Amino acid sequence: MDVSAVNSLSFEEFVEIFGNVVEKCPLVAAAVWSQRPFTSLGDIEAAIADFIDGLSDSGKEGILRCHPDLAGRDVQRGTLTPESQAEQSQAGLTQLEPEELAQIGALNAQYKQRFGFPFVICARMNDRPAILAQLSQRLGNKPAHELLGAIQEVKRICNLRLQALVRPILPAPAQLSSTPPKL
């Protein structure tokens, strides 16, 4: 859909369509609906980012807690959102060997114990080795730094999900002139 179609959506339709651009957080879509009319995909993305940035740290942590563990129990149970399923599958996290599954499970547990929320990374922009490396490396971050970094990853995920939903408005083709160009 294009931005004009987005602007014509009712509140319920908007929340239904955009309610998972931030994983399991339809409240974000509900909060930005009133900012219509949007002028571009970037405008929608900016409204969402501004809403997230305006949250308290506990609100940001709440958004992070809505994300599933990478290669976690939701993968095994088949309860990931369709978006997360596609993203984790693309990164190779749904076909892990038992020892890789154990390794990522242990790292996820350490991460959640240290920071109080799941490890979040834009899986579509990474592959399995990069994700494991980031998970190990980010365990050493200070909590405030990790909160900011994890929220940046949420915004990356949101950007890609928005791109899948909204077509940018393309400029109209230039009118062809019958006058030859001046040299």
pLDDT in tens, 116-158: 999 999 999 999 999 999 999 999 999 999 999 999 999 999 9
Identify the CATH number of the domain in which residue 117 sits: 1.10.3330.10
Q: Give the number of domains in the chain.
A: 1
Q: Is the pLDDT of residue 169 over 90?
A: no
Cα–Cα distance for residue pair 157/107, rounded to 1 Å: 21
In a domain, 32, yes or no: yes
Q: Is the pLDDT of residue 183 over 90?
A: no
The CA distances from residue 130 to 51, 76, 99, 136, 142, in Å, are 29, 22, 17, 10, 20
Where in the sequence is the domain holding 126, given as residue range(s)? 3-165
| Average pLDDT for the chain | 92
Cα–Cα distance for residue pair 179/29, rounded to 1 Å: 49
Q: Which residues are the active-site residues?
A: 67
In a domain, 79, yes or no: yes
Q: pLDDT, tens digit, for every residue of 72-113?
A: 989 888 899 999 999 999 999 998 999 999 999 999 999 999
